[in-house]
Protein backbone atom coordinates (compact mmCIF):
# COMPACT_ATOMS: atom_id res chain seq x y z
CA UNK A 1 0.00 0.00 0.00
CA UNK A 2 1.36 3.43 -0.92
CA UNK A 3 1.96 5.85 1.93
CA UNK A 4 0.07 9.14 2.14
CA UNK A 5 1.84 12.51 1.62
CA UNK A 6 1.75 13.14 5.37
CA UNK A 7 3.42 9.79 6.02
CA UNK A 8 5.99 10.51 3.32
CA UNK A 9 7.03 13.68 5.17
CA UNK A 10 8.14 11.57 8.12
CA UNK A 11 10.06 9.10 5.96
CA UNK A 12 13.76 9.37 5.23
CA UNK A 13 15.39 10.08 1.88
CA UNK A 14 18.16 8.16 0.13
CA UNK A 15 20.59 10.88 1.25
CA UNK A 16 19.63 10.47 4.91
CA UNK A 17 19.90 6.69 4.55
CA UNK A 18 23.38 7.09 3.03
CA UNK A 19 24.27 9.33 5.98
CA UNK A 20 23.18 6.52 8.32
CA UNK A 21 25.50 4.15 6.43
CA UNK A 22 28.43 6.58 6.60
CA UNK A 23 27.80 7.37 10.27
CA UNK A 24 27.57 3.69 11.24
CA UNK A 25 30.80 2.90 9.42
CA UNK A 26 32.94 5.93 10.23
CA UNK A 27 33.35 5.72 13.95
CA UNK A 28 35.32 3.88 16.57
CA UNK A 29 37.16 1.51 14.24
CA UNK A 30 38.94 3.96 11.97
CA UNK A 31 40.12 6.07 14.93
CA UNK A 32 41.22 3.14 17.11
CA UNK A 33 41.99 -0.10 15.27
CA UNK A 34 45.23 0.82 13.45
CA UNK A 35 47.17 0.56 16.70
CA UNK A 36 46.26 -3.11 17.09
CA UNK A 37 47.16 -3.81 13.45
CA UNK A 38 50.58 -2.14 13.79
CA UNK A 39 51.20 -4.30 16.86
CA UNK A 40 50.74 -7.39 14.65
CA UNK A 41 53.11 -6.37 11.81
CA UNK A 42 55.00 -3.29 10.60
CA UNK A 43 54.55 -3.43 6.82
CA UNK A 44 53.06 -0.14 5.56
CA UNK A 45 51.94 -1.86 2.35
CA UNK A 46 50.18 -4.69 4.21
CA UNK A 47 48.54 -2.23 6.62
CA UNK A 48 47.02 -0.22 3.77
CA UNK A 49 46.13 -3.45 1.95
CA UNK A 50 44.00 -4.37 4.98
CA UNK A 51 41.82 -1.31 4.41
CA UNK A 52 41.59 -1.84 0.66
CA UNK A 53 40.60 -5.51 1.05
CA UNK A 54 38.16 -4.72 3.86
CA UNK A 55 36.60 -1.98 1.74
CA UNK A 56 36.33 -4.21 -1.32
CA UNK A 57 34.61 -6.90 0.76
CA UNK A 58 32.20 -4.35 2.24
CA UNK A 59 31.37 -2.94 -1.19
CA UNK A 60 30.65 -6.46 -2.48
CA UNK A 61 28.44 -7.01 0.55
CA UNK A 62 26.59 -3.74 -0.02
CA UNK A 63 25.93 -4.65 -3.66
CA UNK A 64 24.50 -7.99 -2.50
CA UNK A 65 22.37 -6.45 0.26
CA UNK A 66 21.03 -3.99 -2.29
CA UNK A 67 19.32 -6.84 -4.15
CA UNK A 68 17.89 -8.35 -0.97
CA UNK A 69 16.73 -4.98 0.36
CA UNK A 70 15.01 -4.03 -2.90
CA UNK A 71 13.25 -7.42 -3.10
CA UNK A 72 12.36 -7.57 0.62
CA UNK A 73 11.86 -3.90 1.58
CA UNK A 74 11.17 -4.13 5.28
CA UNK A 75 13.08 -2.82 8.29
CA UNK A 76 15.05 -5.29 10.39
CA UNK A 77 18.08 -6.06 8.21
CA UNK A 78 19.39 -9.61 8.55
CA UNK A 79 16.50 -10.60 10.79
CA UNK A 80 14.08 -9.92 7.96
CA UNK A 81 16.22 -11.42 5.18
CA UNK A 82 17.26 -14.63 6.95
CA UNK A 83 13.72 -15.31 8.19
CA UNK A 84 12.43 -15.27 4.61
CA UNK A 85 15.40 -16.91 2.87
CA UNK A 86 16.14 -19.76 5.29
CA UNK A 87 13.83 -20.21 8.29
CA UNK A 88 12.38 -18.01 11.06
CA UNK A 89 14.83 -19.68 13.49
CA UNK A 90 17.82 -18.39 11.51
CA UNK A 91 16.32 -14.91 11.36
CA UNK A 92 15.58 -15.08 15.07
CA UNK A 93 19.22 -15.90 15.86
CA UNK A 94 20.44 -12.98 13.77
CA UNK A 95 17.93 -10.68 15.42
CA UNK A 96 18.94 -12.03 18.82
CA UNK A 97 22.58 -11.14 18.15
CA UNK A 98 21.56 -7.65 17.00
CA UNK A 99 19.21 -7.27 19.96
CA UNK A 100 21.77 -8.27 22.60
CA UNK A 101 25.23 -7.28 21.33
CA UNK A 102 25.19 -6.38 17.64
CA UNK A 103 24.40 -2.71 18.28
CA UNK A 104 24.79 -2.33 22.03
CA UNK A 105 28.45 -3.44 21.97
CA UNK A 106 29.55 -1.03 19.19
CA UNK A 107 27.73 1.80 20.95
CA UNK A 108 29.60 0.93 24.15
CA UNK A 109 32.91 0.75 22.27
CA UNK A 110 32.26 4.11 20.56
CA UNK A 111 31.37 5.71 23.89
CA UNK A 112 34.58 4.30 25.44
CA UNK A 113 36.59 5.74 22.56
CA UNK A 114 34.83 9.10 22.86
CA UNK A 115 35.74 9.33 26.55
CA UNK A 116 39.34 8.29 25.76
CA UNK A 117 39.68 11.05 23.15
CA UNK A 118 38.16 13.61 25.53
CA UNK A 119 40.78 12.63 28.11
CA UNK A 120 43.40 13.86 25.61
CA UNK A 121 41.73 17.28 25.65
CA UNK A 122 41.33 17.67 29.42
CA UNK A 123 41.43 15.39 32.48
CA UNK A 124 38.35 13.19 32.63
CA UNK A 125 37.95 11.93 36.22
CA UNK A 126 35.28 9.35 35.40
CA UNK A 127 35.45 8.31 31.70
CA UNK A 128 32.77 5.65 32.15
CA UNK A 129 30.32 8.21 33.52
CA UNK A 130 31.07 10.54 30.60
CA UNK A 131 30.48 7.71 28.13
CA UNK A 132 27.22 6.77 29.86
CA UNK A 133 25.99 10.37 29.90
CA UNK A 134 26.63 10.78 26.15
CA UNK A 135 24.75 7.57 25.34
CA UNK A 136 21.79 8.65 27.50
CA UNK A 137 21.59 12.08 25.83
CA UNK A 138 21.70 10.63 22.31
CA UNK A 139 19.06 8.04 23.20
CA UNK A 140 16.85 10.88 24.44
CA UNK A 141 17.21 12.68 21.08
CA UNK A 142 16.09 9.58 19.15
CA UNK A 143 13.24 8.99 21.58
CA UNK A 144 11.86 12.36 20.39
CA UNK A 145 11.03 10.87 16.99
CA UNK A 146 12.22 10.12 13.45
CA UNK A 147 12.41 13.76 12.30
CA UNK A 148 14.53 14.89 15.25
CA UNK A 149 16.80 11.86 14.86
CA UNK A 150 17.23 12.48 11.13
CA UNK A 151 18.27 16.12 11.59
CA UNK A 152 20.67 15.22 14.39
CA UNK A 153 22.14 12.40 12.29
CA UNK A 154 22.72 14.45 9.13
CA UNK A 155 24.36 17.30 11.07
CA UNK A 156 26.87 15.15 12.95
CA UNK A 157 27.60 12.91 9.96
CA UNK A 158 28.43 15.97 7.85
CA UNK A 159 30.75 17.19 10.61
CA UNK A 160 32.45 13.80 10.74
CA UNK A 161 33.06 13.56 6.98
CA UNK A 162 34.47 17.12 6.89
CA UNK A 163 36.68 16.27 9.86
CA UNK A 164 38.20 13.20 8.20
CA UNK A 165 38.61 14.93 4.84
CA UNK A 166 40.27 17.91 6.53
CA UNK A 167 42.56 15.76 8.65
CA UNK A 168 43.59 13.75 5.58
CA UNK A 169 44.45 16.88 3.56
CA UNK A 170 46.38 18.43 6.44
CA UNK A 171 48.26 15.16 6.96
CA UNK A 172 49.35 15.08 3.32
CA UNK A 173 50.50 18.72 3.13
CA UNK A 174 51.56 19.57 6.70
CA UNK A 175 52.97 16.43 8.35
CA UNK A 176 56.65 15.55 8.22
CA UNK A 177 56.54 12.14 6.51
CA UNK A 178 57.91 9.07 8.25
CA UNK A 179 60.60 6.99 6.63
CA UNK A 180 58.17 4.45 5.18
CA UNK A 181 57.66 2.79 1.82
CA UNK A 182 54.14 1.89 0.79
CA UNK A 183 55.42 -0.18 -2.12
CA UNK A 184 55.38 -3.97 -1.58
CA UNK A 185 58.46 -6.10 -1.04
CA UNK A 186 58.70 -9.88 -1.35
CA UNK A 187 57.97 -10.52 2.35
CA UNK A 188 54.78 -8.44 2.23
CA UNK A 189 52.97 -10.88 -0.04
CA UNK A 190 53.46 -13.69 2.48
CA UNK A 191 51.95 -11.45 5.20
CA UNK A 192 48.71 -11.12 3.21
CA UNK A 193 48.00 -14.84 3.62
CA UNK A 194 49.06 -15.24 7.25
CA UNK A 195 47.12 -15.54 10.48
CA UNK A 196 48.08 -12.07 11.87
CA UNK A 197 46.75 -10.44 8.70
CA UNK A 198 43.47 -12.35 8.92
CA UNK A 199 43.01 -11.49 12.61
CA UNK A 200 43.87 -7.84 11.88
CA UNK A 201 41.16 -7.95 9.23
CA UNK A 202 38.72 -8.46 12.13
CA UNK A 203 39.52 -4.94 13.35
CA UNK A 204 39.16 -3.61 9.81
CA UNK A 205 35.85 -5.41 9.30
CA UNK A 206 34.66 -3.89 12.55
CA UNK A 207 35.65 -0.44 11.26
CA UNK A 208 33.69 -1.15 8.06
CA UNK A 209 30.73 -2.68 9.90
CA UNK A 210 27.69 -0.55 9.28
CA UNK A 211 27.79 -0.74 5.48
CA UNK A 212 24.48 -2.59 5.81
CA UNK A 213 22.94 -0.02 8.18
CA UNK A 214 20.34 1.38 5.77
CA UNK A 215 18.80 -2.09 5.55
CA UNK A 216 17.65 -1.75 9.17
CA UNK A 217 15.52 1.31 8.40
CA UNK A 218 14.20 0.29 4.97
CA UNK A 219 10.62 0.43 6.26
CA UNK A 220 11.06 4.13 7.05
CA UNK A 221 12.38 5.06 3.60
CA UNK A 222 10.30 6.88 0.99
CA UNK A 223 11.10 4.43 -1.80
CA UNK A 224 13.21 1.57 -0.40
CA UNK A 225 13.22 -0.45 -3.63
CA UNK A 226 15.18 2.31 -5.38
CA UNK A 227 16.77 4.28 -2.56
CA UNK A 228 18.09 1.41 -0.44
CA UNK A 229 20.61 0.05 -3.00
CA UNK A 230 21.76 3.60 -3.76
CA UNK A 231 22.29 4.40 -0.09
CA UNK A 232 24.15 1.15 0.62
CA UNK A 233 26.55 1.39 -2.33
CA UNK A 234 27.14 5.15 -2.23
CA UNK A 235 27.73 5.22 1.53
CA UNK A 236 30.13 2.28 1.43
CA UNK A 237 32.13 3.67 -1.52
CA UNK A 238 32.57 7.06 0.19
CA UNK A 239 33.75 5.44 3.41
CA UNK A 240 36.23 3.17 1.62
CA UNK A 241 37.92 6.22 0.07
CA UNK A 242 37.96 8.04 3.42
CA UNK A 243 39.41 5.04 5.26
CA UNK A 244 42.29 4.42 2.89
CA UNK A 245 43.13 8.13 2.92
CA UNK A 246 43.02 8.59 6.71
CA UNK A 247 45.07 5.47 7.47
CA UNK A 248 47.66 6.56 4.91
CA UNK A 249 47.87 9.86 6.80
CA UNK A 250 48.13 8.15 10.21
CA UNK A 251 51.02 5.98 9.01
CA UNK A 252 52.71 8.85 7.21
CA UNK A 253 52.44 11.26 10.17
CA UNK A 254 53.27 9.18 13.26
CA UNK A 255 55.99 6.58 14.03
CA UNK A 256 54.69 3.02 14.17
CA UNK A 257 56.29 2.59 17.60
CA UNK A 258 53.96 5.27 19.00
CA UNK A 259 50.88 3.85 17.27
CA UNK A 260 51.47 0.23 18.26
CA UNK A 261 48.82 -1.07 20.66
CA UNK A 262 47.26 2.37 21.21
CA UNK A 263 43.54 3.18 21.00
CA UNK A 264 43.77 6.94 20.33
CA UNK A 265 45.72 6.69 17.05
CA UNK A 266 43.90 9.73 15.64
CA UNK A 267 45.08 11.88 18.53
CA UNK A 268 48.67 10.65 18.21
CA UNK A 269 48.77 11.39 14.48
CA UNK A 270 47.12 14.80 14.97
CA UNK A 271 49.76 15.77 17.52
CA UNK A 272 52.46 15.07 14.91
CA UNK A 273 50.59 17.09 12.27
CA UNK A 274 49.47 20.12 14.31
CA UNK A 275 51.62 20.01 17.44
CA UNK A 276 50.48 19.25 21.03
CA UNK A 277 47.78 21.95 21.19
CA UNK A 278 46.46 21.12 17.73
CA UNK A 279 46.44 17.46 18.70
CA UNK A 280 44.24 18.18 21.69
CA UNK A 281 41.85 20.25 19.58
CA UNK A 282 41.65 17.47 17.00
CA UNK A 283 40.96 14.95 19.76
CA UNK A 284 37.97 17.04 20.79
CA UNK A 285 36.71 17.15 17.21
CA UNK A 286 37.13 13.38 16.85
CA UNK A 287 35.09 12.87 20.00
CA UNK A 288 32.33 14.99 18.43
CA UNK A 289 32.58 12.85 15.29
CA UNK A 290 31.98 9.75 17.40
CA UNK A 291 28.64 11.23 18.47
CA UNK A 292 27.44 10.53 14.92
CA UNK A 293 28.43 6.86 15.22
CA UNK A 294 26.61 6.41 18.52
CA UNK A 295 23.59 8.19 17.07
CA UNK A 296 23.43 6.03 13.93
CA UNK A 297 23.54 2.79 15.92
CA UNK A 298 21.01 4.16 18.40
CA UNK A 299 18.74 4.70 15.40
CA UNK A 300 19.32 1.41 13.57
CA UNK A 301 19.58 -1.05 16.47
CA UNK A 302 16.17 -0.50 18.07
CA UNK A 303 14.52 -0.99 14.67
CA UNK A 304 15.62 -4.63 14.72
CA UNK A 305 14.08 -5.06 18.17
CA UNK A 306 10.94 -3.30 16.95
CA UNK A 307 10.48 -5.66 13.98
CA UNK A 308 11.13 -8.67 16.21
CA UNK A 309 8.43 -7.37 18.54
CA UNK A 310 6.00 -7.18 15.61
CA UNK A 311 6.66 -10.84 14.74
CA UNK A 312 7.26 -12.45 18.14
CA UNK A 313 4.72 -12.13 20.99
CA UNK A 314 7.52 -12.71 23.53
CA UNK A 315 8.99 -9.34 22.51
CA UNK A 316 5.74 -7.52 21.68
CA UNK A 317 6.47 -4.66 24.10
CA UNK A 318 9.39 -3.67 21.87
CA UNK A 319 7.10 -3.11 18.87
CA UNK A 320 5.33 -0.04 20.18
CA UNK A 321 6.18 3.43 18.86
CA UNK A 322 5.46 6.94 20.05
CA UNK A 323 3.28 9.37 18.08
CA UNK A 324 6.44 10.70 16.41
CA UNK A 325 7.48 7.20 15.26
CA UNK A 326 10.19 6.38 17.83
CA UNK A 327 10.35 2.76 19.11
CA UNK A 328 10.71 3.90 22.72
CA UNK A 329 10.77 0.47 24.38
CA UNK A 330 13.45 -0.81 22.02
CA UNK A 331 15.56 2.34 22.52
CA UNK A 332 15.39 1.94 26.30
CA UNK A 333 16.32 -1.76 26.09
CA UNK A 334 19.42 -1.00 24.00
CA UNK A 335 20.36 1.80 26.40
CA UNK A 336 20.25 -0.58 29.37
CA UNK A 337 22.44 -3.11 27.52
CA UNK A 338 24.95 -0.41 26.57
CA UNK A 339 25.22 0.84 30.12
CA UNK A 340 25.81 -2.71 31.34
CA UNK A 341 28.63 -3.21 28.81
CA UNK A 342 30.27 0.07 29.75
CA UNK A 343 30.61 -1.25 33.28
CA UNK A 344 31.89 -4.73 32.42
CA UNK A 345 33.56 -5.07 29.00
CA UNK A 346 37.01 -4.27 27.63
CA UNK A 347 37.54 -2.56 24.29
CA UNK A 348 39.64 -5.17 22.45
CA UNK A 349 37.47 -8.14 23.43
CA UNK A 350 34.33 -6.29 22.37
CA UNK A 351 35.81 -5.73 18.92
CA UNK A 352 36.98 -9.32 18.34
CA UNK A 353 33.74 -10.81 19.68
CA UNK A 354 31.71 -8.51 17.45
CA UNK A 355 33.88 -9.23 14.43
CA UNK A 356 33.12 -12.95 14.71
CA UNK A 357 29.37 -12.76 15.36
CA UNK A 358 28.63 -10.05 12.80
CA UNK A 359 30.79 -11.67 10.09
CA UNK A 360 28.88 -14.93 10.57
CA UNK A 361 25.53 -13.15 10.20
CA UNK A 362 26.51 -11.18 7.08
CA UNK A 363 28.08 -14.31 5.55
CA UNK A 364 24.74 -16.13 5.72
CA UNK A 365 22.90 -13.09 4.39
CA UNK A 366 25.09 -12.61 1.32
CA UNK A 367 24.89 -16.35 0.64
CA UNK A 368 21.13 -15.78 0.70
CA UNK A 369 21.38 -13.94 -2.63
CA UNK A 370 22.16 -17.30 -4.28
CA UNK A 371 19.57 -19.17 -2.19
CA UNK A 372 16.77 -16.70 -2.91
CA UNK A 373 17.48 -16.68 -6.66
CA UNK A 374 17.28 -20.48 -6.63
CA UNK A 375 14.16 -20.75 -4.45
CA UNK A 376 12.23 -17.75 -5.82
CA UNK A 377 13.49 -17.05 -9.35
CA UNK A 378 10.31 -15.12 -10.24
CA UNK A 379 10.49 -12.75 -7.25
CA UNK A 380 10.37 -9.10 -8.35
CA UNK A 381 13.90 -7.69 -8.06
CA UNK A 382 13.99 -3.94 -8.85
CA UNK A 383 17.75 -4.09 -8.37
CA UNK A 384 20.07 -7.00 -9.14
CA UNK A 385 23.56 -7.34 -7.68
CA UNK A 386 26.14 -5.75 -9.97
CA UNK A 387 28.87 -8.22 -10.89
CA UNK A 388 26.83 -11.28 -9.83
CA UNK A 389 27.96 -13.99 -9.08
CA UNK A 390 31.52 -12.70 -8.56
CA UNK A 391 30.81 -9.88 -6.13
CA UNK A 392 28.96 -12.01 -3.55
CA UNK A 393 31.54 -14.79 -4.01
CA UNK A 394 34.36 -12.34 -3.23
CA UNK A 395 32.58 -11.30 -0.05
CA UNK A 396 31.98 -14.91 1.00
CA UNK A 397 35.60 -15.89 0.32
CA UNK A 398 37.13 -13.02 2.31
CA UNK A 399 34.79 -13.37 5.27
CA UNK A 400 34.99 -17.17 5.33
CA UNK A 401 38.78 -16.97 5.38
CA UNK A 402 38.66 -14.41 8.21
CA UNK A 403 36.24 -16.48 10.29
CA UNK A 404 38.48 -19.54 9.98
CA UNK A 405 41.47 -17.67 11.37
CA UNK A 406 39.44 -16.07 14.18
CA UNK A 407 38.33 -19.51 15.34
CA UNK A 408 41.92 -20.70 15.36
CA UNK A 409 43.64 -17.64 16.83
CA UNK A 410 40.93 -16.18 19.10
CA UNK A 411 39.08 -19.21 20.52
CA UNK A 412 37.71 -17.45 23.62
CA UNK A 413 35.98 -14.67 21.67
CA UNK A 414 34.80 -17.16 19.02
CA UNK A 415 33.29 -19.46 21.62
CA UNK A 416 31.63 -16.48 23.29
CA UNK A 417 30.03 -15.63 19.94
CA UNK A 418 28.87 -19.21 19.42
CA UNK A 419 27.59 -19.25 23.02
CA UNK A 420 25.49 -16.17 22.32
CA UNK A 421 23.96 -17.96 19.33
CA UNK A 422 23.28 -21.07 21.41
CA UNK A 423 21.52 -19.00 24.06
CA UNK A 424 19.40 -17.42 21.34
CA UNK A 425 18.53 -20.87 19.94
CA UNK A 426 17.37 -22.02 23.40
CA UNK A 427 15.18 -18.90 23.61
CA UNK A 428 13.75 -19.48 20.14
CA UNK A 429 11.77 -22.58 21.10
CA UNK A 430 9.61 -20.98 23.85
CA UNK A 431 9.21 -17.94 21.57
CA UNK A 432 8.02 -20.20 18.75
CA UNK A 433 5.55 -21.95 21.05
CA UNK A 434 3.98 -18.59 21.94
CA UNK A 435 3.62 -17.80 18.26
CA UNK A 436 6.15 -16.65 15.69
CA UNK A 437 5.20 -14.78 12.56
CA UNK A 438 7.28 -15.23 9.45
CA UNK A 439 8.39 -11.89 8.03
CA UNK A 440 6.56 -11.15 4.80
Establish if 440 belongs to a structural domain.
no
Of the two residues 138 and 168, the one the predictor is more confident about is 138
Q: Is it the case that residue 4 has pLDDT exceeding 50?
A: no
pLDDT of residue 350: 64
pTM here is: 0.71
- Give the rounded distance of the alpha carbon of 375 from its chain centre: 30
Per the CB < 8 A criterion, the answer to whether 31 and 113 are in contact is yes
What's the mean pLDDT in 50-62?
A: 88
pLDDT at 251 over 60: yes
- Of 86-95, 184-193, 202-211, 331-340, least confident by mean pLDDT is 202-211
What pLDDT does 320 receive? 81
Question: For residue 27, what pLDDT band results from cuts at 50, 70 and 90?
Answer: low
**438 domain residue, yes or no:** no
Give the model's confidence band at 396: pLDDT under 50 very low, under 70 low, under 90 confident, else very high: very high
What's the mean pLDDT when you consider all of the chain? Answer: 80
Q: 153: domain CATH number?
A: 1.20.1740.10
pLDDT of 279 higher than 70: yes
**Model pLDDT, residue 392:** 94
Q: Is residue 439 part of a domain?
A: no
- On the question of pLDDT at 41 being above 70, the answer is yes
pLDDT-derived band at 215 (thresholds 50, 70, 90) equals low
How far, in Å, CA of 213 to CA of 68, rounded? 13
Q: If we measure between CA atoms, which residue out of 308, 301, 247 comes closest to residue 93?
A: 308
CA 367 to chain centre: 19
pLDDT digits (tens, 9 = 90+) for 67-106: 888 888 776 678 888 988 998 888 888 878 877 777 888 8
Handedness of CA 157, 160, 166, 172 (dihedral sign): negative
Say what the pLDDT of residue 366 is.
94
pLDDT surpasses 60 at 254: yes
pLDDT over threshold 50, residue 1? no
- Domain residues for the domain of 228 are 5-379+387-433
3-state secondary structure of 12: strand
The pLDDT of residue 7 is 44
Q: Which of 7-21, 132-146, 321-335 has the lowest mean pLDDT?
A: 7-21
Higher pLDDT, 279 or 345: 279
How many domains in the chain? 1
Q: Which residues of 12-32 are buried (b: 16+ CB within 10 A; e: fewer)?
A: bebebbbbbbbbbbbbbbbbb
How far apart, in whole angstroms, are the C-alpha atoms of residue 162 and residue 167? 8
Residue 21 forms part of a structural domain: yes
Is residue 9 predicted with pLDDT exceeding 60? no
Residue 338 lies in a domain: yes
In a domain, 421, yes or no: yes
Amino acid sequence: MDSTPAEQDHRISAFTAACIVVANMVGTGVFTSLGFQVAAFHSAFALLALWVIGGAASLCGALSYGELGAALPRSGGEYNYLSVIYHPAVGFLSGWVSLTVGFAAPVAAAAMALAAYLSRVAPVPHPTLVAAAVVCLISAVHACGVTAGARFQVAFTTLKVLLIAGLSLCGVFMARPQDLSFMPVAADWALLFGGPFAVSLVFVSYAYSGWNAAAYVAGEMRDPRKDLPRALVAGTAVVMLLYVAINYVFLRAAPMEELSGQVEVGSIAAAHIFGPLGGRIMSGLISLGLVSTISAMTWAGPRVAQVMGEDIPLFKRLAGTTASGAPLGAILLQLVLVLGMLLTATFERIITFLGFTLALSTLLTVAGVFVLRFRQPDLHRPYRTWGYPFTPLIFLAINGWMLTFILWNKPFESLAGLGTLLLGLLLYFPAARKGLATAP
